[in-house]
Amino acid sequence: MSSNDLKINPYLAVSESDETDNGDETEHQLQLALAARDEFLSIAAHELRTPLSTLTIHMQMALRQIEKNDPRIFSKEHLEKIFQISHRQTTRLIGLVDQLLDVSRIMNGRMKLDLEDIQINKLSTEILHRFQDEANDAHTPISLNIDHEMHGNFDRRGLDQVLSNLISNAIRFGNAKPIQVKIYTETDQMIVEVKDSGIGIDQKDFCKIFKKFKKIGESNPSSGLGVGLYITRQIVLAHGGRIYFNSQLNEGSTFTVRMPLTREIKSEFISKECH
Ligand SMILES: Nc1ncnc2c1ncn2[C@@H]1O[C@H](COP(=O)(O)OP(=O)(O)OP(=O)(O)O)[C@@H](O)[C@H]1O
Ligand SMILES: [Mg+2]
């Protein structure tokens, strides 16, 4: 377990406190853990509240029109719009709850991989298709360059999350500039590169971004929980792989994932990077 986990997990900090003689240090760790928990609760509550508020407002507006017997409410276009909004907001809620469950599973050591043979070009094309609306809204073109007929032994949901989190960040922080996704093999490894030309990351924040509930910068436009990269890294490590990035402020970032095409657990990776 890393020192990052110690700082952010209040339960761990409390149990560690029994074993140390240094009262001040323990008190300090406990304060940090409690502050991190409070910050997390406030981010999570805010993020969960946003889609719920949007849903409630639209439901109230629809109810008011029904009460007034406004015939427009029953038109196909209107009903379609209401269901589209509801679908988007409930999908967002499910995504947030799933992320929280993933973090909880990781922290409790309960992350499980179901390995299967995956057609990587099929999966990555599907994922890109899923992000098309979001990319269009952000005026961000995305290109996918992938070796044909690539297969690998991965957990489907895990690989989906790795690609989705990196693409979602590239769109979110990409400043509406083109994004390039490249997937290829190198001997027995799958390499994924997601390159954006967006806001980039300040060098002083390099080691923060893989921590859970971390959003960097005062004016961070992210509407997320700050857990995408934390989950991504844990999934990559569990597959025996590595994740790293190059980034320059205001120039953009390239995130690279290397995962063995066939499973080989290398647990020593777990404690080595950025602590
Ligand atoms: N491609 C990128 N360019 C610039 N900054 C990035 C990029 N990817 C991540 N970051 C920084 O790292 C932080 C952590 O990323 P992470 O994906 O964990 O959280 P998030 O995107 O803010 O929220 P979530 O993924 O939970 O919806 C981001 O808030 C952002 O500050
Ligand atoms: Mg993210």
For 108, other C-beta atoms within 10 Å of its C-beta total 9
Nearest CA to ligand 1 atom 13: 215
Our mutation pick for probing the ligand 1 site, out of 209, 233, 253, counting the most ligand atoms within 8 A of Cβ, is 209
Please answer whether residues 50 and 63 qualify as being in contact, where contact means their C-beta atoms are separated by less than 8 angstroms. Answer: no
Rounded to the nearest angstrom, the distance between the alpha carbon of 69 and the centre of ligand 2 is: 43
Question: Is the shortest distance between the CB of 243 and ligand 1 below 6 Å?
Answer: no
Rounded to the nearest angstrom, the distance between the alpha carbon of 211 and the centre of ligand 2 is: 12
| Confidence (pLDDT) at 271 | 37
Same domain? 121 vs 68: no
Q: How many CA atoms lie within 13 A of 237 on its CB side?
A: 18
Same domain? 230 vs 261: yes
**Closest C-alpha among 206, 139, 143, 146 to residue 171:** 139
CATH for 33:
1.10.287
Q: What is the pTM of this model?
A: 0.81
Q: How many domains does the chain have?
A: 2
| Confidence (pLDDT) at 128 | 96
Rounded to the nearest angstrom, the distance between the alpha carbon of 151 and the centre of ligand 2 is: 26
Last residue of a domain, one of 85, 107, 129: 107
Last residue of a domain, one of 89, 107, 125: 107
Same domain? 236 vs 132: yes
Our mutation pick for probing the ligand 1 site, out of 168, 227, 229, 246, counting the most ligand atoms within 8 A of Cβ, is 229
Rounded to the nearest angstrom, the distance between the alpha carbon of 98 and the centre of ligand 1 is: 17
DSSP state for residue 196 in the 8-state scheme? E
Residues 59-109: pLDDT tens digits? Answer: 999 899 899 988 888 899 989 999 999 999 999 999 999 999 998 899 888
Same domain? 86 vs 218: no
Same domain? 138 vs 189: yes
Residues 145-168: pLDDT tens digits? Answer: 998 789 999 999 999 999 999 999
Same domain? 85 vs 140: no
Our mutation pick for probing the ligand 1 site, out of 39, 46, 162, 173, counting the most ligand atoms within 8 A of Cβ, is 173
For 61, other C-beta atoms within 10 Å of its C-beta total 12
Same domain? 85 vs 153: no
Question: Is the shortest distance between the CB of 225 and ligand 1 below 6 Å?
Answer: yes
Given strand 252-260, what is the order of strands in its sheet?
142-146, 179-186, 189-196, 252-260, 242-248
Domain residue limits at 179? 115-271
Last residue of a domain, one of 51, 86, 107: 107
Residues 18-60: pLDDT tens digits? Answer: 444 567 888 888 888 888 778 778 888 988 999 999 999 999 9
